[in-house]
Structure 1
């Protein structure tokens, strides 16, 4: 039976709508300037690679619309107040100013990171803070192994400092203030992910205390210190998610009861919500708690593009009150800037990984633009 004229128009319009919707959905797997935070997180380069990194920022980040750069600095800076905590070959103030300059001229917000609370060691290595100030160790009875394996009898993943030690913040905040001044930053990233050691039963200060309250207390202490100079606190969000109820588990969520801290921390803390193997939609959870959030992929393009699509969907379907909490996407890379640049420019290859790399993911979600599309 032939369609009547109105039916024909209706069907034609429906077909056009379906095609348009499909094209729209495809387009929204990459980032554009409608997303407030379009970020990239990587370890700061070594001193001899600063010029190459500046060139990478100028030629690659700006032309792909990146407007936020989180640099994991830790002890890779020539601290003046605590030179005992410097890496052996660390960035000078002049090195940092080169990075600051290129970011300023291209409207990229630059945010330095020092891992606070957790991640004070890795494998067999104790990092500078606890190596120089062992009295800050939350678990001094846990000795570093000659050969690290996981799992282990001590539950050792990374060491933590004791958040209640009366002298720890005097040292830590010296570093935070100095690095924020050097990077001329309006925000600071404190890390605070994967904190397995907190409120240890053998700690003379923390034993028996509520782990959620301890975690929230440390977040609040850091946030309040930064606020005195008008700076924001950014942290990873995993310790604020209930790993058991969600099924997300030990790494990307908490199994040691810190998750209740989500209701105890200040609402102006910015959450970097990382999920790498599955596009878990916990950004909704943080937004509904009144916290600004960015979703953070790593090295799987299919997962990352879904996360980008989800972020567009969250923003487009949210109420006017909720939309500002959905801030964007920050891609992460967990090796140095040098490693990322080598992969990005094809100097190293991993045939086994295929396209499951941070640089392939970066290209998938940050398309090359004729203009930078920055705000």
Structure 2
């Protein structure tokens, strides 16, 4: 019995040593996915144990939004939502394997999807940046209103009272030291018909919202994570309106707090914008999605940046994070489907990226 206990302790120490070495090579080995539905929690916990932990994943970003039974604002719960007990199961397994668990609620943008409002604007329509834009019965892109997703007005006097209640509660239940605010693909900002935002500099509006959220989180020692696309100049770079900004928010990169973690996503091309963010004094992780070939190049780039950077720049190149734009259940079904031989899928990208990380880490 005594020898058995010693063996378990030694195995635990070995795992911690391997993880510490992996983090030295690449501080962030991340995975981002939609939070599981209630009936998927047990399967997702097993997925964390069997697939994330075995790959030395140390950051898990869960897109929660309104899939939680909020107590401070129960009116904003999804019809079926995770309980505190559901969340604690995920917290426990992540703590067991030293995985930093970071919840996400989309702030500013992504307050609607196609013909459906998100919970915040459904319950609080007064927060809508563009109330004059009506959601169509049948959504199509492009459209005359330039509608992709609605935004809340960052200057509405009551919006942060509600939003920060949600942020605080989700951070507390996830026992986390970081929060992901989304903030990608913000097309509606500083609208000319908004009585508060009209005529204001869009870069200043965007930076003001980032800094307001960061300041709030910092009061409890928490870090803000955001997607990086609105901080890139889509016209000058040729990256366009999706992976970069065409509405002049890109100048906000010089106005936001240097404590913000940038999640730099590029899905169609492995653009090397991590260098740009690092040169601006920001920590950055590179985020692929469903093209394994791109993920390999992006991973190699990240290792090269860290190997060749100055002492000042190296710590800003934080690592890699696989993104999944489906719910946990759909991803797991695809991941475990042995008959699926498609190449350009999120599961295959996930496998390939971590294989490349392991290969480069062993050199």
Q: Distance in 1 between matches of 2:32 and 2:182?
A: 11
Q: Which residue, out of 317, 321, 328, partners 1:337? A: 328
Q: Distance in 1 between matches of 2:278 and 2:88?
A: 35
Deviations 1:245-283 (Å, cap 9, x if unpaired)?
Answer: 011110000000000000000100000000001000000
Deviations 1:107-164 (Å, cap 9, x if unpaired)?
Answer: 0000000000000000111010000000000000000001000000000000000000
Q: Which residue, out of 234, 246, 250, partners 1:259? A: 250
Q: Measured at CA, do residues 38 and 243 of structure 1 come closer, stay the same or move farther in structure 2, by a change above 3 Å?
A: same
Aligned residue pairs: how many? Answer: 338
Q: Could you list the runs of 5+ residues in structure 1 that have no partner in the other structure?
A: 1-30
The Cα of 1:367 is off from its aligned counterpart by: 3.0
Q: Which residue, out of 72, 75, 88, partners 2:66? A: 75
For 2:347, the equivalent position in structure 1 comes to 359
CA contact (8 A) 1:244 1:255 kept: yes
CA contact (8 A) 1:64 1:369 kept: no
Q: How does 1:105-254 map to 2 (within 5 A)?
A: 105-254=96-245
Q: Distance in 1 between matches of 2:320 and 2:268?
A: 16
Deviations 1:15-62 (Å, cap 9, x if unpaired)?
Answer: xxxxxxxxxxxxxxxx95410000000000001110000000001100
Q: Measured at CA, do residues 175 and 57 of structure 1 come closer, stay the same or move farther in structure 2, by a change above 3 Å?
A: same
For 1:62, the equivalent position in structure 2 comes to 53
The Cα of 1:93 is off from its aligned counterpart by: 0.2
Q: Secondary structure at the match of 1:180?
A: helix
For 2:307, the equivalent position in structure 1 comes to 316
Q: Distance in 2 between matches of 1:206 and 1:337?
A: 37
Matched, 1:38 2:29: yes
The Cα of 1:369 is off from its aligned counterpart by: 11
Q: Distance in 1 between matches of 2:339 and 2:194?
A: 45
RCO (CA 8 Å, sep 6+): is it higher in 1 or 2? 1
Q: Distance in 2 between matches of 1:218 and 1:261?
A: 10
The Cα of 1:65 is off from its aligned counterpart by: 1.3
CA contact (8 A) 2:299 2:357 kept: no
Deviations 1:281-308 (Å, cap 9, x if unpaired)?
Answer: 0000000000000000000000001000
Q: TM-score, normalised by structure 1?
A: 0.88
Q: TM-score, normalised by structure 2?
A: 0.91
Q: Distance in 2 between matches of 1:369 and 1:217?
A: 36
The Cα of 1:368 is off from its aligned counterpart by: 10
CA contact (8 A) 1:64 1:368 kept: no
Q: Distance in 1 between matches of 2:339 and 2:158?
A: 44
CA contact (8 A) 1:43 1:72 kept: yes
Q: Distance in 2 between matches of 1:71 and 1:347?
A: 25
CA contact (8 A) 2:38 2:86 kept: yes
Deviations 1:309-344 (Å, cap 9, x if unpaired)?
Answer: 000011101001100000000010000001110111
Runs of 4+ in 1 over 4 A off after TM superposition: none
Q: Distance in 2 between matches of 1:103 and 1:272?
A: 21
Q: Secondary structure at the match of 2:325?
A: strand
Q: Secondary structure at the match of 2:355?
A: coil
For 1:28, the equivalent position in structure 2 comes to none
Matched, 1:280 2:283: no
The Cα of 1:225 is off from its aligned counterpart by: 0.3
CA contact (8 A) 1:342 1:348 kept: no
Q: Secondary structure at the match of 2:326?
A: strand
Deviations 1:200-224 (Å, cap 9, x if unpaired)?
Answer: 0000000000000000000000000
For 2:11, the equivalent position in structure 1 comes to none
Q: Secondary structure at the match of 2:53?
A: helix
